[in-house]
Amino acid sequence: MSNNRSGSFLGGLLLGAAAGTIAGILMAPRTGRETRQILKKSADALPELAEDLSTTVQLQADRLSESALRNWDSTLVRLKDAIAAGMEATQRQHQALEESDSLAAQSQSPARDTLL
């Protein structure tokens, strides 16, 4: 059954290709010579088109690279500022804790002396 399907498919494919080729030849608006000349001109223009495309892609890549570097630099500056602010806040909190521990220790010392 599978063999029959693939045979039908290949037969239909060949028949469709043949019909398309015949229809293309009969309906072509130009002669074969004109079509070949147009194809040759198109093929001759391909290297120039490829070069233009390459230049455009290179320019876009350069712009993207510059933009990424600018964004990276500003991100680094913000990150350094955030780290510095975090360090300062940590130091202030550490000093506040040391002061409160020191005050708590001082307030407990006289009370202990009176009990002894």
Span between the terminal Cα atoms of the chain, in Å: 106
Q: What is the pLDDT of residue 96?
A: 92
Query: What is the distance between the alpha carbons of residues 40 and 34, in angstroms, rounded to a whole number?
Result: 10
pTM above threshold 0.85: no
Averaged pLDDT in 10-residue chunks for the chain of 116 residues: 71 88 79 81 86 90 88 92 96 92 76 52
